[in-house]
Chain A
Amino acid sequence: MPRSPAPRLPSLQRRLLAFAIALTLVVLAALGAMLISGTATHTAIQDSRTQTVPHILERQRATANLERLIRFGWIAATAQAPKDWRQAAITAQALAYHPSLAFDEELRRQVIQVHATIRQVIALREQAQDLRHSGQDNKRADIVDEEAKNLWTPQESVLATLQGRLADDAAALIVTRMDRISRISNLTLQSAVFTTLVILTIVGATAWMVGRNLLRPVVGLAQAMRNTQLGHDNPALPQPATAEIAVLQDAVGQLHDALHQANLREHALRSSEQRLNSIFSASEAAIVLTDSIGQVMQANDSFLRLLGLRDTLDLTLQQLTHPEDRPRSAAIFKAMTAGEIDRYRMDARLVRMDGTFVWVDVTIRAIRDGAAPPHQYVAVAIDISDRVRAEKELLFIRSLVNQSADPIYCLDPLDGGRMVWANAATCRHFGVSEAQLLNMRIPDWDPGMDMQRTEQVMRDSLRNDTHVVETTHRIAGGEVIPVEVSASTLEHDGRPYIAGYIRDIRDRNRMLETVRRSNEDLQQFAYVASHDLQEPLRMVASFLQLLERRYGTKLDDDGREYIRFAVDGAVRMKQLIEDLLAFSRIDSRGAPLIPTSLERAAREASDNLIATISESGASIEWKNPLPQVVGDEIQLVRLMQNLLGNAIKYRSPDKPVAISVSAIRRGDMWIVSVADNGIGIAAEYHDRIFMIFQRLHGIGAYEGTGIGLAICKRIVERHGGEIWVESQENMGSVFKFTLKAV
């Protein structure tokens, strides 16, 4: 969620406080108005109770008493019995002066006048009564009574008028009071309406402000929180209107960021857990989790496979450890429990389910909270059976090498050929201790080597894998002896080394010298024999031919045939002797080996065979120019001529001869191939054909003595190479030989 620095914003609290204050003031004003209104209403009611109602009751009582006064007046004016009108008059006087008819001065005055009239009426009645008592004139008495009655009658109207006025006064009081109450009520109603409008306005403004400054932002924040919960991205929140919302938005933003980070961490943790589970499950290393006492809690498949287990129920590492290794591992466990170490690594044996054991490189790490004792251990075991076996074999081999009677050593070619390892035989060979020997370099024991040459030899050695050299060593006692050193280039830990094997060749040289002299004698013998045998053989052949010419006619057919057989034998023997002579001359009469063009030698050989080639219709394909080699050109011509001639001689009868000649380089040697499409050679004869005078066919089948390939072999070997054939019967042959490159 994007957040920008919060500007100075108004406080929602202050705004709400302002609205609350305004609302409170209005409510207080309304309450004040209501209080005033209530007080006025109460006052009006109290006034009504204490004034209006008593006044009305006063007037009602006065009206009733006026009614009684009318009645008493009428009785006083009209009653027949004196007792009645006299009593009525007395009562009328008591009534007329009663306070109930004196609250109003006008009323009191008129009532007193009416009472005065009643007194006059009573006086007339008394007069009439006197007239009757005196018996003077009853008629006059009646007239006087009538005057009294007439005097009274208008007073009824006066009293009725007074009653009406009192009723009007009461009504006026009621109307006045009701008008006042109505005004108060109207004022109260208007105040209530006004207050309601003001309150509604304030409430509306408050609601608008709350909606704008609180509700909408809170809804937005709620949506943001929902988005955060669902892991959705949040759109940018609107610019906060208040400081509180800004704080909330900032808090939500921080919460979102925190949750996002927590999600990322959770995702990373889950991924890590998955990876760990994958590693745990797929690891070739056996992994096992144990509790604080070594009880196995969880193990991966590799662990089960390693120990041939189906499950790990009720197993402890102690049980799985080989009995001989348990004391060692128990001591280490104790140290881990004591907090002295957190992890250790050791080679130990674990007992498999079938009772056998397996060597493992086990690493155990304690899992603990702070400085508390470990509550879990995790062990990772790697099967090192092969390594242990190899180490044992290595140990055995080292033992063998160390105990070998032949000196075996190892040099550092980059350190002047310094000895870096030597077996006991080497120490005996040089007559020094191993410590002394490891400080010696080649010039220290080879008198023919100085440091400069040593470095050159080391460089040359690094270019060759294996090579055998003959040199001299100063051995124990200071004697210098010839030795043959077989050296091989090794690489260990990214660094080259030269391992050597020293062979004392004093006996071998003596034997070789004997053989060499024997060979020279033999060659001399063969040469002499063959050379000296040629003359008697020629003599035998010449005389046999002379015998046949002179006495051929005298001989019968058998005699002539015997002579012919003898001549053929002599001729063939002569050829054998010549071939043998040539064979022996390869070494004895050979030229020095010098850089020579094999191409030229091969062409010359081909030229020598031109007639045969022409006769046979053979074709020779020179696939590439033949290289320069170190050799004797005459012998190389003979080599190629023998091979080309064999290819033509042993051709297939049903197809023309096709010969191809090629050469490829291998290291410092050239491999030359002469391939044909001839009759081929069965595999069992591949070695025999190179032996002298060995023929695979009868004498009559092919010409020759069977010495050609033996000569080829002899020439190649004199040049330091090898020759062999790759062929199958009727599938043609490929003769290959190697020559040193220039």
Chain B
Amino acid sequence: MRLWLSLFGLLCVAIVRPTLAQEVAVGITSTAPPFVEVDAEGRLTGGFNVELARLLCQRMGRPCSLEKTGFPQLLTRIEEGTFQIGFANLLKNAEREQKMLFSAPIWRSTSSFVSRAGSPVVDPAKARRNGRICVVHKSQQEAFIADQPGPQAHLVPTASHADLFDALTNGRCDAALLPTVHVLSFLASPAGSNYDYSGPPLQEPRLSGNVHIVVAKSRPELLDSLNAAIAAINRDGSYRALIARFFPFDIL
């Protein structure tokens, strides 16, 4: 009897295990609205990236488990493969391409300095020298500011955009460099009412361009499936509708 139960158990494991293996672990950075919205307990409730992740998982026909994480952690776990898909509004660079796979572009971004309204426009080349600049850790913006001359203390990395806005409003930095679109919700919020873009977006190739979803290097088939799903939602208009729900203009 015991033997039969053991065999039955092995059979169940053999049947269930492939199903479990098909579940995709999706990491989503805990950035600011409209990309991520969380409840009071910090659980994901919505936002552009969350809805986009659900929509793509649905189109891929795969069950996905969404997990909120920090930007640096997401990059690490994507590299490890514990996240198969990552939504972090990443721009492509050579270093990242060696560690992860990039999907088709999902929207286009520029980077802008944000500072208190009425303050002088930040000169990118002198930004670090003239003041403290908040950037998200391991972001392109951090790499850009790190390349600029200035004291190391003027480079203020944060774990997320929310932390970055907190640091900006708390006075821990004089300006922040981040994707232009990310700032819209902050500027429209009461906390950002005294802040504004500091000049036009930077004309720096590293800081503007296509934003991608990243996929673990070990799952190229997942990338194909993901790209097919992106093409599908582009064709049927559902992506455009999703953008219209969260952004005031077409960010593609």
* Chain A interface (Cβ < 8 Å from any Cβ of B): 61, 64-65, 68-69, 72, 86-87, 90-91, 93-95, 97-100, 112
Majority secondary structure of chain B interface residues (helix, strand, loop or mixed): mixed
Docked-complex contact B184 and A98, CB < 8 angstroms: no
B83 at interface by CB-CB < 8 Å: no
Q: Which residues of A contact B252 (CB under 8 A)?
A: 61, 100
Leading 5 A-B pairs by shortest Cβ distance: A99-B108, A97-B201, A68-B249, A90-B187, A95-B249
Q: What 10 additional pairs, Cβ within 8 angstroms, besides A100-B108, A100-B250, A100-B252?
A: A61-B252, A72-B248, A90-B196, A91-B248, A91-B249, A94-B180, A94-B183, A97-B110, A99-B108, A99-B109
CB of B121, distance to nearest CB on chain A (Å): 12
CB of B115, distance to nearest CB on chain A (Å): 13
Q: Which residues of B contact A61 (CB under 8 A)?
A: 250, 252
Docked-complex contact B188 and A94, CB < 8 angstroms: no
CB of B218, distance to nearest CB on chain A (Å): 29
Q: List 19 A-B contacts (CB under 8 A).
A: A61-B252, A64-B249, A64-B250, A65-B250, A68-B250, A86-B193, A87-B187, A87-B188, A90-B183, A90-B184, A90-B196, A91-B184, A94-B183, A94-B184, A97-B200, A98-B251, A99-B108, A100-B108, A112-B200
* Chain A residue at minimum C-beta to C-beta distance from B201: A97
- Report the Cα distance A91→B208, complex, angstroms: 18
* Chain B residue at minimum C-beta to C-beta distance from A68: B249
Q: 1/0 per residue B96-139: CB within 8 Å of A?
A: 00000000000011101000000000000000000000000000
Q: Which residues of A contact B197 (CB under 8 A)?
A: 90, 93-94
Docked-complex contact A65 and B110, CB < 8 angstroms: no
B181 at interface by CB-CB < 8 Å: yes
Q: Which residues of B contact A65 (CB under 8 A)?
A: 249-250
CB of A682, distance to nearest CB on chain B (Å): 153
CB of A98, distance to nearest CB on chain B (Å): 7
- Report the Cα distance A94→B251, complex, angstroms: 10
CB of A83, distance to nearest CB on chain B (Å): 8
CB of B162, distance to nearest CB on chain A (Å): 19
- Report the Cα distance A93→B180, complex, angstroms: 9
- 8 Å CB contact of A99 from B188, B200, B208: B208
- Report the Cα distance A93→B112, complex, angstroms: 10
- Report the Cα distance A95→B109, complex, angstroms: 11
Docked-complex contact B112 and A97, CB < 8 angstroms: yes
Q: Of A61, A72, A93, which is in contact with the most chain B CB atoms at under 10 Å from its CB?
A: A93
Docked-complex contact A99 and B248, CB < 8 angstroms: no
CB of A125, distance to nearest CB on chain B (Å): 14
Q: Which residues of B contact A68 (CB under 8 A)?
A: 248-250
Q: Which residues of A contact B200 (CB under 8 A)?
A: 93, 97, 112
CB of A371, distance to nearest CB on chain B (Å): 80
Q: Which residues of B contact A95 (CB under 8 A)?
A: 248-249
Q: Which residues of A contact B188 (CB under 8 A)?
A: 87, 90
Q: 1/0 per residue B156-193: CB within 8 Å of A?
A: 00000000000000000000000011011001100001
Q: Which residues of A contact B251 (CB under 8 A)?
A: 98, 100
CB of A104, distance to nearest CB on chain B (Å): 15
* Chain B residue at minimum C-beta to C-beta distance from A112: B200
Majority secondary structure of chain A interface residues (helix, strand, loop or mixed): helix
Q: Which residues of B contact A112 (CB under 8 A)?
A: 200
Q: Which residues of A contact B183 (CB under 8 A)?
A: 90, 94
- 8 Å CB contact of B110 from A64, A87, A90, A99: A99
CB of A504, distance to nearest CB on chain B (Å): 145
CB of A32, distance to nearest CB on chain B (Å): 33
- Report the Cα distance A99→B209, complex, angstroms: 8
Q: Which residues of B contact A87 (CB under 8 A)?
A: 187-188
Q: Which residues of B contact A93 (CB under 8 A)?
A: 197, 200
Q: Which residues of B contact A98 (CB under 8 A)?
A: 108, 110, 180-181, 249, 251
Q: Which residues of A contact B109 (CB under 8 A)?
A: 99
CB of A50, distance to nearest CB on chain B (Å): 13
Q: Which residues of A contact B193 (CB under 8 A)?
A: 86
Q: 1/0 per residue B26-47: CB within 8 Å of A?
A: 0000000000000000000000
* Chain A residue at minimum C-beta to C-beta distance from B109: A99
- Report the Cα distance A730→B252, complex, angstroms: 171
**8 Å CB interface, B3-17 against A:** none
CB of B116, distance to nearest CB on chain A (Å): 14
* Chain A residue at minimum C-beta to C-beta distance from B248: A91
- Report the Cα distance A87→B180, complex, angstroms: 14
Q: Which residues of B contact A91 (CB under 8 A)?
A: 184, 248-249
* Chain B residue at minimum C-beta to C-beta distance from A103: B108
Q: Which residues of A contact B112 (CB under 8 A)?
A: 94, 97
* Chain A residue at minimum C-beta to C-beta distance from B111: A97
* Chain B residue at minimum C-beta to C-beta distance from A82: B193
- Report the Cα distance A72→B248, complex, angstroms: 9
Q: Of B108, B110, B112, B249, which is in contact with the most chain A CB atoms at under 10 Å from its CB?
A: B249
CB of A412, distance to nearest CB on chain B (Å): 130
- Report the Cα distance A68→B249, complex, angstroms: 7
* Chain B residue at minimum C-beta to C-beta distance from A72: B248
CB of B139, distance to nearest CB on chain A (Å): 18
CB of B204, distance to nearest CB on chain A (Å): 13
- Report the Cα distance A68→B209, complex, angstroms: 21
- Report the Cα distance A98→B210, complex, angstroms: 11
* Chain A residue at minimum C-beta to C-beta distance from B187: A90
- Report the Cα distance A95→B197, complex, angstroms: 12
* Chain A residue at minimum C-beta to C-beta distance from B118: A126
Q: Which residues of B contact A100 (CB under 8 A)?
A: 108, 249-252
CB of B242, distance to nearest CB on chain A (Å): 15
- Report the Cα distance A91→B251, complex, angstroms: 12
- Report the Cα distance A68→B244, complex, angstroms: 11
- 8 Å CB contact of B181 from A64, A72, A94: A94
**8 Å CB interface, B192-206 against A:** 193, 196-197, 200-201
- Report the Cα distance A87→B196, complex, angstroms: 10
CB of A99, distance to nearest CB on chain B (Å): 4
CB of B109, distance to nearest CB on chain A (Å): 8
Q: Which residues of A contact B196 (CB under 8 A)?
A: 90
Q: Which residues of A contact B249 (CB under 8 A)?
A: 64-65, 68-69, 91, 94-95, 98, 100
CB of B202, distance to nearest CB on chain A (Å): 10
Q: Which residues of A contact B208 (CB under 8 A)?
A: 99
CB of B111, distance to nearest CB on chain A (Å): 10
CB of A86, distance to nearest CB on chain B (Å): 8
CB of A22, distance to nearest CB on chain B (Å): 47
Docked-complex contact B180 and A97, CB < 8 angstroms: yes
Q: Which residues of B contact A64 (CB under 8 A)?
A: 249-250
- Report the Cα distance A97→B248, complex, angstroms: 14
- Report the Cα distance A589→B19, complex, angstroms: 175
CB of A435, distance to nearest CB on chain B (Å): 128
* Chain B residue at minimum C-beta to C-beta distance from A116: B200
CB of B29, distance to nearest CB on chain A (Å): 20
- Report the Cα distance A23→B250, complex, angstroms: 57
- Report the Cα distance A100→B183, complex, angstroms: 18
* Chain A residue at minimum C-beta to C-beta distance from B196: A90
**8 Å CB interface, B49-80 against A:** none
- Report the Cα distance A86→B184, complex, angstroms: 11
* Chain B residue at minimum C-beta to C-beta distance from A65: B249
- Report the Cα distance A87→B186, complex, angstroms: 11
* Chain A residue at minimum C-beta to C-beta distance from B202: A97
- Report the Cα distance A72→B249, complex, angstroms: 10
- Report the Cα distance A498→B251, complex, angstroms: 156
* Chain B residue at minimum C-beta to C-beta distance from A99: B108
- Report the Cα distance A87→B250, complex, angstroms: 17
Q: Which residues of A contact B201 (CB under 8 A)?
A: 97
* Chain A residue at minimum C-beta to C-beta distance from B188: A87
- Report the Cα distance A94→B113, complex, angstroms: 12
* Chain B residue at minimum C-beta to C-beta distance from A89: B196
Q: Of A65, A69, A90, which is in contact with the most chain B CB atoms at under 10 Å from its CB?
A: A90
- Report the Cα distance A65→B247, complex, angstroms: 11
CB of B119, distance to nearest CB on chain A (Å): 15
Q: Which residues of B contact A99 (CB under 8 A)?
A: 108-110, 208-209
Q: Of A64, A86, A87, A98, which is in contact with the most chain B CB atoms at under 10 Å from its CB?
A: A98
- Report the Cα distance A87→B201, complex, angstroms: 17
- Report the Cα distance A288→B47, complex, angstroms: 119
